[in-house]
Structure 1
Amino acid sequence: MKNRNGISRRNFIRQTGFSGIVLTIGAYLPASGKTEVTIINAKTTDKTGRELLSWISIDTSGKVTLRNHRSEMGQGTFQAIPQMIAEELEVNLDQVTIVFAPANPQKFGPQPQEGSFSVRGWYKQLLQIGASARQMLIDVAAKQWNVAASECYAENGQVIHRSSGKKLGYGLLVEEASRLTPPQNVPLKSRKDYKIIGKPLPRQDIPLKTNGTAQFGLDKKLPGMLYAMVERNPRFRGKVKRFDDSKTKAVPGVKNVFTVQRAVFGSLYEGVAVVADSLWAAMQGRKLLSVEWDDSGFDHLGTEQLATQMRENLKKPSPSEKFEVALQQAAKKMEAIYETPYQSHSCMEPLNCIAHVQDNRIDIWGPIQEANWIQADLSERMGVPKENVRVNMTFLGGGFGRKAFTDYPHEAALISKTMKAPVQVVWTREDDMRMGPFRPGAFYACKGGIDNNGHILAFQTITASQWIGQDWRPEPYPDPEPPGYNTGSMEGMVSPYCKAVPHYSFGGAGIRAAIPVMWWRSVYASTGGFACESFIDELAHEAGQDPLTFRRNHLPDKRYQALVDQLATISGWKSRGKHAGWGVAITECFGGICGHIVQVSRKTGGKLKIDKVIALIDCGWYVNPDIICAQVEGSILMGLGAAIKHATTFTDGKAVHQNFNTYDMPRITDTPEIEVHIMENEEKAGGVGEPGLPPFAPALCNAIFDLTGKRIRTLPFKLEEV
């Protein structure tokens, strides 16, 4: 609704709320973000308060604005980061306006949204920032009352004198407080004194997303903005030989057609951009475009060729003599190979990006998962000072690692530079799913031996995959690729296993392919966790032991034993029947430990049914239990899709699956009952967004073995065919 002066209600509230003096508190953090935080005053703001360069701003009316410096792709940082700051600042979230911070590593430190790092990597710094701002306000109030600061406390956006009950709102203190030097190392609250941390507070972004006011990348519009669609080579590294745009340029609204590149790791991928004054015109013009590609100079591999290479690579690493000697001493020995496919990210919101390139300045708007990296990449590639590259984040309709990559903003910037205007580049669903980068397929060869006491004596995993990051290296590549150790081989495995197993060995060999690969939710843990926890279950069966007890016997740390015990309690594990169709898996990644118990049964007619998933996550210190439960539930559904629904396959160097008609996603009818529990302990904060995914597939396959006696070692599989 707009008033008679043409100002929308939303803008009126935003502008009047930012008026007056503001106190802006910031923090200088080195690039690693891991050293001790130094609290500083942010750059001086003007009296309108519109230039907000750090986490906290308070205007003279007492309105608090908190900046979320991380992207929000559904994982809850839009709520969790302000919730941490607000706790120590002593304000309620209903008193707070939350806005996204632009890319600014000098003010906000690293801003990537990856590795489940937002809380576990930042909670101490963010708590300290809130506490420092609170103390500044208390100091000003104490000075005005001529009392000791220790006689005052803050609560609900006010400073209160304990003995007299006098109160001053933050808005009345902000002007003088803004001139103070922020104190360092202000004592933080004890966990028992938290008022909003640890509480299931409603997320502030949910109303925006349900009433349509949340701004995603496609919602952003700029004056004079043009639209672009790009016809890209379906074989990834091919070049444009020639194109015919005569029919395209006849479409009303089409402005220009030209070749464009985007940087994908160490290669430049080519396409033909169609730029128009409307998205519809760009789409229609692209359909009429005729492009001839040059696909020479690289192999056009298919899924079977990739799988053959990986199976052969399992044989490449030289045997570990010490491991083989130990294995021969085992009372029982076994081997197994596990296979996992390539996967598309398939975010519900396809890629899109707005770029406006001007003389020595670049402005970016869109669903950006990694603002700092994109800022630095554009600065280097376009020759623009980093401080003149402004990356503005909108909400993301999913990210899972894909929207942290730099290729789509680079492409948009090049198109904008050519057109000398702001341009929004929109990818179709087919573009998004066929172009990648993808989660790499991976094969795991496992060996193990059990001693006479039923304990693992020797454990080995050899991994064959396209290593993520190999494509940064310039061509020509070494051929053949030398075998070697990849730390990703151990992702997903619970770390105390290495303490309990006397002899273990890890190795692997990477393959080369023109298919681009990158991280996917939980990265290698999504594949390595399946192999490890499936094989642990097979070893437990070989040892004749209960699978959960077997794991407990190999997890000597008390923290892990407590998780196993709690998992048994909440699931009723000890009361299950023989061959009841129960499976367990426990994995660890990005600072979080998660255990799943999956229950399966036969439906009428003999078809297999997933009845229930019980999940227990140990993420240590945490902020909002509702966000944790939502993240674990989402992880389970994403893991379910990768286990029994979809995979990206290739034929003649091209992705086969280009939309949801063939890349089958889980539906509501596929969703089992999910029950999520959180461990309570005094451990430091760990990850949440990714650790809930890896245990699902092995727990499901272990449950199927418990029910049917059939081992499943290849994903995905069809549940109805088991």
Structure 2
Amino acid sequence: MSVSNISRRNFLRAAGLTGTALLVGLYFPSGAEEAKVAAADSAVASDIEMNAWIHIDTNGKVTIFSHRAEMGQGAYQSVPQIVAEELEVNLNDVNIRFAQGDRQKYGNQVTGGSSTIRGSYKNLLKLGASAREMLIAAAATKWNVPVTECYAEAGHVIHRPTGNKFHYGELVEAASKLEAPKDVVLKKRSDYKQIGKPLHRQDTPLKTNGKAIFGLDFKLPGMLYAVVERNPRLRGTLKSFDASAALKVPGVKKVFKIQTGVFQTFRDGIAVVADSTWAAIQGRKALTIEWDDSGFEHVNTPDIYKKQHELINNEEGLSARKQGDPDAILNTATQKLDLVYETPYQSHSAMEPLNCVAFYQPDKLEIWGPIQAPEWVQDYICAQFKLPKEKVIVNMTFLGGGFGRKAFMDYPHEACLISKETGTPVQVVWTREDDMTQGPYRAGISYRCQGAISNGQLSALKFRMAGQNTAHWQGGPKDRANRSTTEGFLAPYYKSIKDISFADVPFETPIPNIWWRSVYASTNGFAYESFLNEMAHLAGKDPLDFRRGYLNEEREQKLIDKMEQVSGWKLKNKGDGFGVAITECFGTTVGQIVKVSKKNGEKVKIDKVWAVVDCGWYVNPDIVHAQVEGAIVMALGAATTHEITFKDGLVEQRNFYNYLMPRINDMPLVEVHIMENDANAGGVGEPGLPPFAPALTEAIFDLTGKRIRKLPFDMATV
């Protein structure tokens, strides 16, 4: 629908807002790299389609539409906190509403890569400042005074000489008729009143009083409920099924076959539709099914890693990055290491199971649910159902965790297929067993790491990885290295170490794989940082001092200074084990130091973790702390308690009784420190995860002398 065909009144009505308001948004002119600001009136007149906006009504209430999901990472708090700062309103006077999925209007809406703030904070600051300046200009005109005599504060414009003031709501009608300023002066960080402050999250009350709407909470009149029985082998198909017993279960309405998209393939399943999720689950149990499991490999976990080890030991792979000639140095070096590290497959296992509501109607197909990538879902559903974009509407709810899994399209696709077949709105729900046994998973990866020491200095590094490439599952070219082969490795190393190479040795299985919190940095970080720790010992150097010698940039040096200071690294007691790792992903560097100890007759205990975060510009320190703490919990589980394994093509883990999560008594104290600087914003939700495992295993070595090169491992046995 063209903006030129939407009247201002209809635009507001479609958004569910009041008729008289100031509506300010962003748009990207053709070929422009930076967003421009416009008011709704001028946007409509100029045929501009805005991709995000602030709405201020006549009561002065501010609403901002967010194009990103809230899955616990804090976007629901951080986005309005940014806008409120430059708009000069109290955060309590700001509402946030989720925008619908629309690639043309909003661009990238994928909540992943820790990108919500780092990708939009400058535009959000400019948006808030522009709206403020329009309100100040409207007030100055009403008073017939110079704009320079007016300022904004707490939702009011104040005339400095007289103290007269207008509430924002009194100015919106006049302000809405103004052109947005072409340039605005943003505040200095030292002048911030809300950004950088640990303000309470706006979503916390909603999540404690029951008002927050998660996917499972969403209901429509006449809605039915569905579960799907899928082949337990990930490439298996359906031979036949008998639904007669299932249809006798009270509440079961319909049973039929569906085929759901899984990347470039389709998965056979039998949908059971009922008047409650419980009835649908009972109906599914009553199905009689014959599966066809022929024609594809039935994978076994030991075979996966045996093949990976063969590959990295016998093939050079596809070059991801190379500088100098590390092979020549390794061939002649007398001090060198050649080691293999191994990381496991992992399930996402978000606390809120997968679910989605869809309603297929003759004139549109509408979707509601915990969705990380609304425009990807829209693109996929349009292609599968051969519908134009304006006919497919994707609405986001709160997510009870996502970690990358809820950026996938299979569960919305199921809901749409079932709704089309039944002619009613349908909510499809996955059980924990469905989620854990069907994937997609974080790929398990093996790494071969080689390095040389010459005259006490690190002279060459050579890394090869063998593991599934997410791009291959999405139809990407198979003759190119995994673009994430170097993820997690700090850029300053390339300046100080002249001979380095990274290679991806292609490896494939029928197991679907996808992004997982911090993506490949979660596995790369363990291998690369563990190897640097081992190289430090080969060189006879302290592992933190060793890194300091090669991380020569000012920010990294200050980060190491902070790590030493807060942890007492130089004052370690003889009976304690200390380990270190420093990784970078999504624009943020995190250094962690882990301290462990062991009393007579007891297992090794993790006493404390110090995490130092350089994320540049940030919004809310409490959210930074919470995300790093949560990432460490997840990293602890991935390192010591859980993995996905396969036997005869079947996933062996089904629920939390055999996919074990860390318990509260397993958690150490975690102390988070944020570096203060003026650098651009980096991500926060994911970068706290990669350094934990290598820092932990180094601490265990420091205490016990035992090297751990394979994850997960049992803390009770080290």
TM-score bucket (shorter structure): over 0.9
Aligned with 2:577 (options 566, 575, 581)? 581
Matched, 1:462 2:470: no
Q: Could you tell which deviates more after superposition, 573-582 or 712-721?
A: 573-582
Matched, 1:211 2:215: no
C-alpha contact (below 8 Å) 2:575/2:597 kept by paired residues: no
Matched, 1:678 2:674: yes
Matched, 1:643 2:646: no
Instruction: Give the equivalent residue in structure 2 for 1:151.
Output: 149
- For residues 487-514 of structure 1, the C-alpha deviation after alignment (integer angstroms, 9 at most, x for no partner) is 3221111121111112111112122211
What TM-score results when the alignment is normalised by the length of structure 2?
A: 0.94
Instruction: Give the equivalent residue in structure 1 for 2:5.
Output: none
Q: Could you tell which deviates more after superposition, 528-537 or 354-363?
A: 354-363
Deviation at 1:360, TM superposition (A): 3.8
Within 5 Å, which residues of 2 pair with 1:16-27? 19-27=18-26
Distance (Å, rounded) in 1 between the aligned partners of 2:681 and 2:51: 27
Distance (Å, rounded) in 2 between the aligned partners of 1:140 and 1:89: 14
Distance (Å, rounded) in 2 between the aligned partners of 1:517 and 1:31: 36
Deviation at 1:436, TM superposition (A): 0.5
Give runs of ≥4 in structure 1 deviating > 6 Å: 43-46
Instruction: Give the equivalent residue in structure 1 for 2:699.
Output: 703
Give the gaps of 5 or more residues in structure 1.
Answer: 1-14, 47-51
Deviation at 1:53, TM superposition (A): 8.0
Amino acid at match of 1:115: G
Distance (Å, rounded) in 1 between the aligned partners of 2:540 and 2:596: 22
Within 5 Å, which residues of 2 pair with 1:57-72? 57-72=55-70
Distance (Å, rounded) in 2 between the aligned partners of 1:547 and 1:53: 48
Classify the secondary structure of the residue corresponding to 1:114.
coil
Classify the secondary structure of the residue corresponding to 1:613.
strand
Classify the secondary structure of the residue corresponding to 1:118.
coil
Matched, 1:126 2:158: no
Matched, 1:569 2:565: yes
Amino acid at match of 1:22: A
Deviation at 1:101, TM superposition (A): 1.6
Deviation at 1:45, TM superposition (A): 12
Total equivalences in the alignment: 695
Instruction: Give the equivalent residue in structure 2 for 1:9.
Output: none
Distance (Å, rounded) in 1 between the aligned partners of 2:240 and 2:183: 63
Deviation at 1:18, TM superposition (A): 5.0
Distance (Å, rounded) in 2 between the aligned partners of 1:330 and 1:184: 61
C-alpha contact (below 8 Å) 1:591/1:686 kept by paired residues: yes
Deviation at 1:108, TM superposition (A): 2.9
Within 5 Å, which residues of 2 pair with 1:108-123? 108-123=106-121
C-alpha contact (below 8 Å) 2:471/2:482 kept by paired residues: no
Matched, 1:341 2:340: no
Matched, 1:386 2:389: yes
Classify the secondary structure of the residue corresponding to 1:621.
coil
- For residues 84-137 of structure 1, the C-alpha deviation after alignment (integer angstroms, 9 at most, x for no partner) is 111111111111222222213344332110111111111101111111111111
Distance (Å, rounded) in 2 between the aligned partners of 1:443 and 1:170: 59
Instruction: Give the equivalent residue in structure 2 for 1:8.
Output: none
Deviation at 1:213, TM superposition (A): 1.5
Deviation at 1:204, TM superposition (A): 0.4
Distance (Å, rounded) in 2 between the aligned partners of 1:104 and 1:122: 17
Instruction: Give the equivalent residue in structure 2 for 1:293.
Output: 291
Matched, 1:261 2:259: yes
Computed over aligned residues only, the root mean square deviation of the Cα atoms, in angstroms, reads 2.1
Amino acid at match of 1:471: W
Within 5 Å, which residues of 2 pair with 1:59-458? 59-318=57-316, 322-452=325-455, 454-458=456-460
Deviation at 1:386, TM superposition (A): 1.1
C-alpha contact (below 8 Å) 2:51/2:107 kept by paired residues: no
Deviation at 1:19, TM superposition (A): 4.1
C-alpha contact (below 8 Å) 1:461/1:507 kept by paired residues: yes
Distance (Å, rounded) in 1 between the aligned partners of 2:572 and 2:610: 14
Within 5 Å, which residues of 2 pair with 1:591-630? 591-630=587-626
Distance (Å, rounded) in 2 between the aligned partners of 1:44 and 1:256: 52
Distance (Å, rounded) in 1 between the aligned partners of 2:312 and 2:40: 54
Within 5 Å, which residues of 2 pair with 1:551-570? 551-570=547-566
- For residues 305-337 of structure 1, the C-alpha deviation after alignment (integer angstroms, 9 at most, x for no partner) is 111111111134339993221123435111110
Deviation at 1:179, TM superposition (A): 2.2
Deviation at 1:55, TM superposition (A): 2.9
1:53/1:539 Cα in 2 relative to 1: closer, same or farther (>3 Å)? Answer: closer
C-alpha contact (below 8 Å) 2:41/2:177 kept by paired residues: no
Q: Could you tell which deviates more after superposition, 105-114 or 418-427?
A: 105-114
C-alpha contact (below 8 Å) 1:29/1:109 kept by paired residues: no
Identity %: 56
Instruction: Give the equivalent residue in structure 2 for 1:535.
Output: 531
Distance (Å, rounded) in 2 between the aligned partners of 1:527 and 1:225: 42
Distance (Å, rounded) in 2 between the aligned partners of 1:45 and 1:414: 37
Deviation at 1:368, TM superposition (A): 0.6
- For residues 55-91 of structure 1, the C-alpha deviation after alignment (integer angstroms, 9 at most, x for no partner) is 3111111111122221000000000011111111111
Distance (Å, rounded) in 2 between the aligned partners of 1:518 and 1:31: 33
C-alpha contact (below 8 Å) 1:317/1:508 kept by paired residues: no
Instruction: Give the equivalent residue in structure 2 for 1:11.
Output: none
Deviation at 1:181, TM superposition (A): 2.2
Distance (Å, rounded) in 2 between the aligned partners of 1:458 and 1:617: 28
Classify the secondary structure of the residue corresponding to 2:245.
helix
1:30/1:692 Cα in 2 relative to 1: closer, same or farther (>3 Å)? Answer: farther
Deviation at 1:391, TM superposition (A): 1.1
Distance (Å, rounded) in 1 between the aligned partners of 2:182 and 2:83: 15
Instruction: Give the equivalent residue in structure 2 for 1:6.
Output: none
Distance (Å, rounded) in 1 between the aligned partners of 2:51 and 2:508: 44
Classify the secondary structure of the residue corresponding to 1:237.
coil
C-alpha contact (below 8 Å) 1:226/1:423 kept by paired residues: yes
Deviation at 1:211, TM superposition (A): 1.6
Give the gaps of 5 or more residues in structure 2.
Answer: 1-13, 45-49
Q: Could you tell which deviates more after superposition, 271-280 or 323-332?
A: 323-332
Distance (Å, rounded) in 2 between the aligned partners of 1:234 and 1:144: 70
Distance (Å, rounded) in 2 between the aligned partners of 1:245 and 1:45: 56
Distance (Å, rounded) in 1 between the aligned partners of 2:316 and 2:286: 54
Distance (Å, rounded) in 2 between the aligned partners of 1:552 and 1:322: 24
Within 5 Å, which residues of 2 pair with 1:5-44? 19-29=18-28, 35-42=33-40
Amino acid at match of 1:426: V
Classify the secondary structure of the residue corresponding to 2:136.
helix
Deviation at 1:294, TM superposition (A): 1.4
Distance (Å, rounded) in 2 between the aligned partners of 1:43 and 1:276: 48
1:69/1:318 Cα in 2 relative to 1: closer, same or farther (>3 Å)? Answer: closer
Classify the secondary structure of the residue corresponding to 1:71.
coil
Classify the secondary structure of the residue corresponding to 2:606.
strand
C-alpha contact (below 8 Å) 2:42/2:179 kept by paired residues: no
C-alpha contact (below 8 Å) 1:160/1:167 kept by paired residues: yes
1:109/1:53 Cα in 2 relative to 1: closer, same or farther (>3 Å)? Answer: closer
Distance (Å, rounded) in 2 between the aligned partners of 1:199 and 1:221: 37
Q: Could you tell which deviates more after superposition, 598-607 or 168-177?
A: 598-607
1:473/1:30 Cα in 2 relative to 1: closer, same or farther (>3 Å)? Answer: farther
Matched, 1:472 2:474: yes
Classify the secondary structure of the residue corresponding to 1:711.
coil
